[in-house]
Amino acid sequence: MPAIADVARLAGVSKATASRALSGRGYVAAETRRRVQAAAAQIGFIASPDAASLVTGRTKNVGVVIPFVNRWFFGEVLEGIERALLAAGYDLTLYNLAPVGPERDRVFDFFLARKRVDAVVAVGVDLTDREVAVIARREKPIIALGGTAPGAPRLAIDDHAAAALATEHLLRLGHTRIAHLAGAGAGAAARSVQGQRRAGFLQTMSEAGLAPRGGVESVVVESEMSLPGGYSAALQLLGHPGDRPTALFAASDEVAFGAMRAAERLGIPMPSDLSIIGIDGHEYAELFGLTTIEQYPGEQGRLAVEAVLHLLGEGDEADPLPASGAPLATRLVVRSSTTAAPR
């Protein structure tokens, strides 16, 4: 079996230089690195991750915690993370994080704390002070993508502003009876994604002089952030013709798709009697003709990996985190699901 000494001899360098060239740790001239890599490929040498870990203290492995793997947004983020990690020579260990309970605690107290990962990316979850402290005590960097992690760098769109933009679009079309299909727990978790979107909607309506006369519950209905969740919530919201809104702002595109199906079932013409807007830029949004606030989850995953590599001392010198906490990119994409309010 070829050894690092064989690679070094063939490339005409020391074993230490060959090791640095193949591990990516430490400075090696570009031409020397290419020569060492060519020598390793010629004799079929594969660097041992375990051996490299003993030398560098690194595992070349990043832990990713995520609440769902079967929803479009999270799948797109995960794909972006995986591609970027593979390109950087890192592995990925995935943990599906429960909302609360002993299973969630085990992820932090055992798997992430004791298993060998170099860093953690938390996608769309709100970590507690204790959970962040468990990882920080072991000097593992954390990046929060979409969710929050107290004291840790965060990458996210401005959910409050995105909700305000969606609501303003409906207001500019002349709608005054606008309702919001919020994510589950939006009212109780103000700092969460769904909480920020709810707050952006309510503030924009209030500033337009359209604060709900019947209380927030009359214009905000919470649902799971999924197509079935949006369907059930929209049936509840649209089921009373006398109180029916003329426009809906859905907390995600999948919720919006469910609301569109509910409107069809109830025989409500769209968009002439009901306009619907979502947030996400789902790959099926164009197929449904859905107006949406588009974001770019695959690119967000790539940026999270760049940030992690930066915190680990790899990659470019420039800090890849948005300057001054600037939010990630979004844009309004208008399609056929929204139109002027009915007379």
pLDDT per residue as tens digits for the range 119-129: 999 999 999 99
pLDDT at 338: 98
Say yes or no to pLDDT of 57 above 90.
no
Radius of gyration of the chain (CA): 25
pLDDT at 50: 52
pLDDT tens track for 66-104: 999 889 999 999 999 999 999 888 999 999 988 888 888
Task: Provide, rounded to the nearest whole percent, the portion of the chain with pLDDT above 70.
Answer: 90
**Rounded to an integer, what distance in angstroms lies between the CA atom of residue 219 and that of residue 3?**
68
173 or 36, which is more confident: 173
**Nearest C-alpha neighbor of 123 from the set 294, 302, 277:** 302
**Nearest C-alpha neighbor of 148 from the set 129, 134, 162:** 129
Q: How much is the mean pLDDT over the chain?
A: 88
Q: Could you tell me the domains of the chain?
A: 4-56 (1.10.260), 61-156+297-312 (3.40.50.2300), 159-294 (3.40.50.2300)
Say yes or no to pLDDT of 324 above 50.
no
The per-residue b/e assignment along 11-35, b for 16 or more CB within 10 angstroms, e otherwise, is bebeeebbbbbbbbbeebeeebbeb
Amino acid in the structure at residue 105: D
Say yes or no to pLDDT of 116 above 90.
no
Grade residue 16 by pLDDT with cuts at 50, 70 and 90.
confident
Q: Is the CB of residue 60 less than 8 Å from the CB of residue 119?
A: no
- Number of residues in the chain: 343
pLDDT at 325: 64
